[in-house]
Structure 1
Amino acid sequence: MNPPSRLRRLAGVGSRFLVVGALSTLIEVGVFNLLVYVWGWDVVTAKIVASLVALVNAYIGNREWTFRHRDRRGRTSEVLLFLATNAVCTALGAALVWVGVEIAGALLGRTPGAIAVNAVNLTSIVIVVLLRFVLYHGIVFRVTKKD
């Protein structure tokens, strides 16, 4: 495949990934805010649970739309790789939220409000989305090499 064709294909996959990710992000942010500001959960627990809820949408959207052209290695293997990848990404996201909220609190000299907490949460999502794309593209839904 020549470089322009490969770049176009990557751009197509990337744009579909971003659409699925945007919907998953809306789900994650909605659940996160519901858990923290309606039910009073702590931010790290809420981040983990919200991420897990959004994962269902992410798997279905990425498997059936973003990476549908990729060979399937077997549903069990693929789901296990997807879950392992997302366990790492969820842990990273939770750690980023914890550190970010602590830093925001130290800078503000008080407990950060909803705007600061959501800014930290959205920043963590951006960082984790980039990592997820690399891992999904290269590991979870990778192209099977044909000899």
Structure 2
Amino acid sequence: MTTQGGSVLERVRGLVREVAKFGAVGGLGVLVNLGVFNLIRHTTDLQVVRASVIATVVAIATNYLGFRYFAYRDRAQSGRTREMALFAGFSAIGLVIENGVLYTATYGFGWDGPLASNVFKFIGIGTATVFRFWSYRTWVFKALPPVAPPAATEPVPDPAPLPRPERRPEPLPEPEPANN
């Protein structure tokens, strides 16, 4: 069974590769995010959600580079300003999702210990990642349209030769009499 973009198996394999690359970049982003978050939390008196927002912004910058130059390097690269604006917009929505989970846990339920903060920060990252994956692949790093393989054409037979008009040999000129 084939579809417009190739066989179903090819499309599933492509999606698996995309998820793996997105996961590799995202995994690095999670490490950056949690590392910066905990560094800020342990070295400053900044409030939990503010520290988280700063960490998220640092991770977003790191992730853009990874997505553009690794995960989605084969995608359309025209309109870099548009791409960056969309990335920033969708990343901001992801930031609100991610930090909304942490805010709710911290200020809604009073779960603000170091372990709870990291657990809910991680849950927020996971929730926002689903949104980011969908939005980045759909709107920011659009797939190039599939290149249609050259159509398999059957060789066109040479046209039948046109009948040649019958050529009559031209009469030879008569020899001129010799003058002796």
Q: Do they fold alike, i.e. is TM over 0.5?
A: yes
Contact preservation (8 Å) 1:104, 1:116: no
Residue 81 in structure 1 maps to residue 89 in structure 2? no
Matched, 1:124 2:129: no
2:142 is paired with a residue whose SS is coil
Instruction: Name the counterpart of 2:115.
Output: 115
Checking the alignment, whether the CA contact within 8 Å between 2:94 and 2:132 is kept in structure 1 is: yes
Distance 1:45 1:102 in 2: 13
Please give the residue correspondences for 1:1-147 in structure 2 after superposition, counting only pairs within 5 Å: 1-105=6-110, 112-145=112-145
Q: How far did residue 127 of structure 1 move? A: 0.6
Cα deviations across residues 116-139 of structure 1 (Å, max 9, x unaligned)? 111010010111111111111111
Q: Which has the higher helix share?
A: 1
Percent of paired sites with the same residue = 29
Aligned residues: 142
Tell me the distance in 2 between the aligned counterparts of 1:144 and 1:73. Answer: 11
Which amino acid is the alignment partner of residue 138 of structure 1?
A: T
Gaps of 5+ in 1: 106-110
Q: Quote how far apart the aligned CAs of 1:87 are.
A: 0.9
SS in 1 for 2:102: helix
| 3-state SS of paired residue (2:98) | helix
User: What is the distance in 2 between the residues matched to 1:128 and 1:146?
Assistant: 29
Based on CA coordinates, which of the two structures has the bigger radius of gyration?
2
In structure 2, what is the equivalent of residue 108 of structure 1?
A: none
TM-score, normalised on structure 2? 0.74
Higher relative contact order (CA 8 A, sep 6+): 1
Q: Would you say the 8 A contact 2:97–2:127 is kept in 1?
A: no
Cα deviation per residue 1:26-81 (whole Å; 9 max; x = unaligned)?
01101111112221211111111111111121001001110111112311111111
TM-score normalised by the chain length of structure 1 = 0.90
- Structure 2 gap ranges (5+): 1-5, 148-180
